[in-house]
Chain A
Amino acid sequence: GAVVSQHPSWVICKSGTSVKIECRSLDFQATTMFWYRQFPKQSLMLMATSNEGSKATYEQGVEKDKFLINHASLTLSTLTVTSAHPEDSSFYICSAGRVGGSEAFFGQGTRLTVV
């Protein structure tokens, strides 16, 4: 099956710093990637849809200036959490699908802890 690689798997950062999370589709091209966030004991929630070569589409309530998404190529999307705060501590996971397909392939996820 298709592989989506997400890096890093965990990160601890100081409040006020920025953290970049990468999501790569290793063996297929993904024009669209999705970024989700999961708080403890809650379900995954879509944050934004990352579109190759264009601006990301953010869900209501997600600050686009805080969560910067760049989809520079058909195999790479990045999520940068800027000026991180402890309340941004969460599990972030990306997913991608093949062009024209409906299956979803997930990255391993990134556990972010802001101290």
Chain B
Amino acid sequence: KNEVEQSPQNLTAQEGEFITINCSYSVGISALHWLQQHPGGGIVSLFMLSSGKKKHGRLIATINIQEKHSSLHITASHPRDSAVYICAVPPIGGGADGLTFGKGTHLIIQP
């Protein structure tokens, strides 16, 4: 089973700061998901990436397949970015099994 580690577990920052959340996994994968979970529990898929970098608004996700590492960056952070950010990987070898999730990073952006 793929082991997914996220860091930091908790992060509090001031509005406007550049935020970085890291994710590492133990077994090579074809793609990695970054998810955002709001306080009510709802989950939004932010990115699915298999190589390089993707950008959506103030969010940037990068992945290094060789190093088995991915990062999620938030530029010009805002209090509305406060949420739990989760990385998730598909099963080893692909297939129709569910994702394995990291424990999440609880981000609080203070005004």
Contact of B45 among A42, A45, A105, A111 (CB under 8 A): A105
Q: List 28 A-B contacts (CB under 8 A).
A: A34-B98, A36-B98, A38-B41, A42-B103, A43-B103, A43-B104, A44-B99, A45-B101, A46-B99, A49-B96, A49-B97, A49-B98, A51-B96, A91-B41, A93-B41, A93-B43, A95-B99, A102-B30, A102-B48, A102-B90, A102-B94, A103-B45, A104-B88, A105-B45, A106-B42, A109-B41, A109-B43, A111-B40
Q: Are A104 and B31 in contact (CB-based, < 8 A)?
A: no
- Interface of chain B, main secondary structure: loop
Binary flags per residue of B20-42, CB closer than 8 Å to A gives 1, else 0: 00000000001101010000111
Q: Is A70 an interface residue (CB 8 A)?
A: no
Binding site for A on B (CB under 8 A): 30-31, 33, 35, 40-45, 48, 86, 88, 90, 94, 96-104
Please tell me if the beta carbons of A104 and B99 are within 8 angstroms of each other in the complex.
Answer: yes
Supposing A44-B86, A102-B48, A104-B33 touch, asked if A34 and B43 sit within 8 A by C-beta, the answer is no
Question: In the complex, are the beta carbons of B48 and A95 less than 8 A apart?
Answer: no
Give 20 A-B pairs besides A44-B88, A46-B99, A111-B40 with Cβ atoms closer than 8 angstroms: A34-B98, A36-B98, A36-B101, A38-B41, A43-B102, A43-B103, A43-B104, A44-B86, A46-B97, A46-B98, A95-B98, A95-B99, A102-B30, A102-B31, A103-B48, A104-B88, A106-B35, A106-B45, A108-B41, A109-B42
